[in-house]
Amino acid sequence: MLLRCIRAEMRKLKSSILFPACIIIPVIPTVMGTFNYLQNIGILKDQWYSLWTQHTLFYSTFFYAPLIALYCSYMWRLEHRSNNWNVFMTAPVPISCLYFGKLTVIFFVALITQGWVGILYLIAGKLAGLPGLCPAEVLFWLLRGTLAAIAVGALQLLLSMFIRSFSIPIGIALAGGVIGMLISNEGFGIYWPYSLVLMGMNSNKSADVLSGNSLLFVLSAVLYFLLFYLIAVRILKTRDIRTM
């Protein structure tokens, strides 16, 4: 049943804006981060690591969470049109499967986005004249950032379920990312879901900010995911979102 829901949600991706968005939008922070690195190359001495700090300074703070929010808004776009919400609610499938199907697709697109970000980082580094290949830790940070997407994705999918506007949840995610940067700088990032994105990506840092705390990070991401997922399913099972 769950696999059928995932396949149904995946079919929505055909001719959608999601794949162009996940390819085009990450190019912007890549250009910004590389330009910033080249402008400060006299100060930034750690080569690949310094380039990573500049890329993630822009991508993780201003682009990653809004991208996830864009994916979530799109996943509810069809249901918020005409009478499609009634079709969704009366489908002969458990609500939990329908909702989890959307989350699975969001995680899949986020994984593609992160892979593309890694490729862009490697290309930018070679164009900037950096020697060799990027550090192996970067792959780990990208995967860790993808894990953080399950927490932000679950929250944003819940918000987009309530908010029929396509753009407002994206604005919320942008604000959440900026606040997340401030909270992370104060050492409380683990308590704010949007901060997990920055921490997972090791944003604007060359040394691992989660050294020795990876288990707490994973637990936090999973708990946020379960919290927002269970809230959404509970609401869907008890009330019609149109009546709220």
Looking up tokens 């949840």 gives: 169
Q: Where are the domains of the chain?
A: 2-238
- Residue 99 burial (CB < 10 Å; 0-12/13-18/19+)? buried
Of 174, 184, 187, whose CA–CA distance to 58 is shortest? 174
Q: Are 208 and 137 in contact (CB under 8 A)?
A: yes
- Residue 157 burial (CB < 10 Å; 0-12/13-18/19+)? buried
Q: Are 72 and 172 in contact (CB under 8 A)?
A: no
Across the range 110-125, mean pLDDT stands at 96
pTM, rounded to two decimals: 0.92
Q: Are 179 and 186 in contact (CB under 8 A)?
A: no
Identify the pLDDT of residue 154.
Answer: 96
Across the range 93-106, mean pLDDT stands at 88
Identify the pLDDT of residue 244.
Answer: 44
For residue 218, name the pLDDT band (cuts at 50, 70, 90): very high
